[in-house]
Copies of this chain bind each other. A is one copy, B any other.
């Protein structure tokens, strides 16, 4: 619990720091997103290594995605992904109806444009985790609803480059 709070605070500081650095230099917006994504990627690689230590090997791609939605997500965000869909051709949609790291921006639609910077690190986490399991992917995310409460509906779109 305490450590979850720590993760949220640390993530917030990290986002603020990366953006502050970018503002003080002549770095463009996209660079900050990719910096955060890269940090997430490396952290995701390290995490999945530890999380899967005692997990029997996965039987297919869908099996891996289910692990990401359940164990991986729960370990990081104390809840599962709420909805998983796939076109069975390497594209997945993971929907989280209450994504914790968005809390700082979730008080109103006017902050919706701020959302991408709070999603980039986690896109990287997922891409890094998949990468360590042998799957190259592109992971994007978007926030489709941002109610006045602290809830939000975030969708993650891992597109896998490799099939089994």
Q: Are B43 and A3 in contact (CB under 8 A)?
A: no
19 contacts between A and B (CB under 8 A): A2-B50, A2-B51, A3-B3, A3-B6, A3-B75, A3-B76, A5-B50, A6-B47, A7-B10, A9-B43, A9-B47, A10-B11, A10-B14, A13-B39, A13-B42, A14-B14, A14-B39, A17-B35, A17-B39
A50–B9 Cα distance when bound, in Å, is 12
Q: Are A43 and B76 in contact (CB under 8 A)?
A: no
The secondary-structure label for the interface of chain A is: helix
- Interface size class, chain A: 20 to 34
This chain: how many copies in the complex? Answer: 2
A46 contacts B by Cβ under 8 Å: yes
A151 contacts B by Cβ under 8 Å: no
Q: Which A residues have a C-beta under 8 Å from some C-beta of B?
A: 2-7, 9-11, 13-14, 17-18, 21, 25, 35, 39, 42-43, 46-47, 50-51, 75-76
